[in-house]
Chains A and B, each alone.
Chain A
Amino acid sequence: MITLIAETMTGVFSPPFRRKEFFQQLYFVANKSLIIILFCVSFAAIVTILESSFHMKLVIQNDSMVPGFAALLILRELGAILTALLLTSRVGAGYASEVGSMQITEQVDAFKMLGIDPVNYLVVPRFLACVLGCMMLTIIANMTCIFSAIIVSQQYLGYTPSMFLASMDRFVQFQDLVFAAIKGACFGGVIPIVACYFGFRCQQGAEGVGRATTNTVVVASIAIIVIDFILSYTFSYLY
């Protein structure tokens, strides 16, 4: 897998740039997943705000800090990780089965015969598209999250939007959004690399494709959680 990462990284900077492929993949990653992700993430934001109000009432008897905390939690953790996990199951599984089918029908070997580097042709555009797409999706998801949190806190906890924003202003800084975008980019990079790795190693037969897909989802999800932990820990020294 390290070889694949190294080859992808060199492929990003080496000449045959496949611009058309890149835009196609970006459309697939970002645009086609947008509605599902926004839908899920806004439900998750509603749950977060209800839960954190419950906890605050339990510990310090009032929930005046809830908007700020919820916004902080959404921006720092929830938006990025939920977006990435959803993308894994959608985009990652798609890539793994696509590349896996190419492998078992010997299309990858055909590329090699034609003198086209399969990493450059298959992995690099997907990698770039996922990094960019996941970054944008993370930012949009965070915005949607906060928007739905504002609506819910107005409906059920009785905070007006201006109170919410004022409380948010106390806790959240602009760098939180930047860190969320960095997280999104890192998670986005993990997905196609894991998917293509398992796709290239796909065994013969339909069963092999299924196994490659399952492995991709599991390994990418765990990798995302571990990377999230490492990044949270690193960023916690920068606040």
Chain B
Amino acid sequence: MTVFISILDEVGGALLFLQKILRSLFYKKIKTHEVFEQIWKVTAESFFTTAMAGFFVGAIMTVQFALQMKEFGALGYLGGLATSGTFREVGPLLIAFMLSGKVGAFTSAELGTMRVTEQIDAVRCLGADPMQEIIAPRFLGIIISSFFLLGGGLIMSVFGGMLMGYAFAGVNFEEYLRHVPMIVSPVSILSGVIKCGAFALVLATICTFKGFTTAGGAKGVGRAVVATSVSTMICIVVVDWMTSFLGEVILQMVRGYRS
């Protein structure tokens, strides 16, 4: 029972924190310079990681789909299916996992260190709002740069899939790409982007919240980092399920409306 109460406590705290961030985003002047710095930092630091993950994910998807498609003799659809699967589902999910390992852990460690060395209190003493000065730029930076990273990762995943389709299934590049526009609809890409945005929102909220509420010295920072990565992973999977499910429901409603 106490476990449930403490979970509810955490969730409620995170939601209140999100409300505070949003309020400081909308009612106060955004520090544009800081935001750009954060975007640059996050993107530059994680680009190589996510691009590499994307490359291998594309290759793995292609190998798996090739094994299945071979049984039907429908290798022509290989490129379209692998690309669509990566764009809609696996790409955003894996990039969010990579981001939570790298950016999430780093941000919560940074904020946690600031908190335990009382730098956040110092900012408040100087008459500045820590939400506006420290939290909001990081929050915006993570969300905006996640889209850049998603784009890079997806492009690399198409490359990986093309190379693997050629090496493993003997599908040449043109044939691989021919069905891509047919199967990957704008809706697919949009759903991938929406998913990525939702993941980034969750990730940014949790890691700033955990970092901001760190207590208990250096050990507390370590605990905050581990708690961040575990809870972001759980929340990302749950959000993934919710977006897929809601997307399906909305699509069916739209279809019913049309017919």
Contact = CB atoms under 8 A, between A and B. Distances in A.
Interface of A: 36, 39-40, 43-44, 46-48, 50-51, 54-55, 58-60, 69, 72-73, 76-77, 85-86, 88-90, 93-94, 97, 101, 206-207, 209-210, 213-214, 217-218, 221-222, 225-226, 228-229, 232-233, 236, 239
A54 B191 CA distance: 13
Interface stretch (B13-21, B33-41, B240-248): B240-248
Contacts of B241: 43-44, 46-47
Contact residues of B: prevailing secondary structure: helix
A147 to B, nearest CB: 16
Nearest to A45: B241
B234 interface: yes
B85 A97 contact: no
A144 B225 CA distance: 29
Contacts of B221: 206, 209-210
B247 to A, nearest CB: 9
B42 interface: no
A225 B57 contact: yes
A48 B53 CA distance: 20
B60 interface: yes
Interface stretch (B100-108, B144-152, B196-204): B100-108
B168 interface: yes
Interface of B: 49, 52-53, 56-57, 59-60, 63-64, 67-68, 74, 77, 80-81, 84-85, 88-89, 94, 97-98, 100-102, 105-106, 109, 113, 168, 183, 218, 221-222, 225-226, 229-230, 233-234, 237-238, 240-241, 244-245, 248
A89 B222 contact: no
Contact of A232 (B60, B102, B248): B60
A210 B49 CA distance: 18
Contact of A218 (B94, B101, B237, B245): B101
Secondary structure type dominating chain A contacts: helix
Contact of A51 (B63, B94, B113, B244): B244
A232 B222 contact: no
Contacts of A101: 222
A55 B230 contact: no
Contact of A228 (B60, B98, B240): B60
Given A55-B84, A85-B97, A93-B225, A77 B183 contact: no
11 contacts: A40-B237, A50-B244, A58-B84, A69-B68, A77-B60, A89-B229, A209-B218, A213-B109, A213-B226, A229-B56, A229-B59
B183 A58 contact: yes
A50 B245 contact: yes
Nearest to A237: B168
Contacts of B245: 46, 50
Contacts of B106: 210, 214
A40 B234 contact: yes
A89 B230 contact: yes
Contacts of A88: 101
A225 B53 contact: yes
A194 to B, nearest CB: 12
A101 B241 CA distance: 37
A233 B64 CA distance: 9
A43 B237 contact: yes
A222 B48 CA distance: 11
Given A214-B105, A221-B53, A221-B101, A233 B63 contact: yes
A217 B218 CA distance: 19
B222 A97 contact: yes
